[in-house]
Amino acid sequence: MKLTDIDKSQYRERLNRIIIAFVIGFAALAVTFGSGLIAVFSDGEGSNFRFNLLGVILALVAMMAILHSLRTKPYFQEVALVFDTKQGLNKIYRKLNKIKAKAKQGDVDALLLLDYYYRSYKVIYHLDDNTITMASFERDHQAVLEWAEQFNLSFEQEHQTPDLTLVDKF
């Protein structure tokens, strides 16, 4: 599945349901684990804060394990793809200045990463209804395309995901 194939309304509906289910499950597990720990280990005197805190930590670990196991299911596919893409974009963002500097010099990998970065953010911003900074992203992407043209490169392929280990070289 490609980022551009995601149906916005279906993505938002599923994301909202997943978030609500996570919050409800987390709260229920935190209370259950906390109560269980207090019932088993509490001496009846003093504060039970540490048991409640441990219950919250256990609930968080349990919910993360549940989400991790469900991410390969078809219902979670779109949300997981967007999540993974956002992680990749964050990895690029952390080295964005170095990548831009190399792109201005004509580094093919840097230009490919920047093209992917701006195309992906455009789709993700559309999915998340975050269009406030879209104009600046369009300008920056146009600059990348001009740099690529200056070095006789083109990005005609349809939104291919580059190998994000390329980021490590910058």
Say yes or no to pLDDT of 37 above 90.
Answer: yes
Say yes or no to pLDDT of 30 above 90.
Answer: yes
Averaged confidence pLDDT in the chain: 89
Buried b (16+ CB within 10 A) or exposed e, 40-72: eeeeeeeebeebbebbbebbeebbeeebeeebe
Give φ, ψ of 47 to 5 degrees: -85, 145
pLDDT in the model for residue 160: 64
Residues with Cβ < 8 Å from 77, sequence gap 6 or more? 1
For residue 22, with 0-12 CB atoms within 10 Å meaning exposed, 13-18 middle and 19 or more buried, which class applies? middle
Per-residue pLDDT averaged across 100-111, rounded? 89
pLDDT: which is higher, 3 or 8:
8
Q: How far apart are CA 112 and CA 162, in angstroms?
A: 7
Per-residue pLDDT averaged across 148-167, rounded? 74
For residue 59, name the pLDDT band (cuts at 50, 70, 90). very high
Specify the range with the lowest mean pLDDT, choosing from 12-21, 41-50, 108-117, 157-166: 157-166
Reported as half-sphere exposure (CB side, CA atoms, 13 A), residue 151 has a value of 18
Say yes or no to pLDDT of 158 above 60.
Answer: no
| Contact yes or no for 112/147 (Cβ under 8 A) | no
| Contact yes or no for 51/38 (Cβ under 8 A) | yes
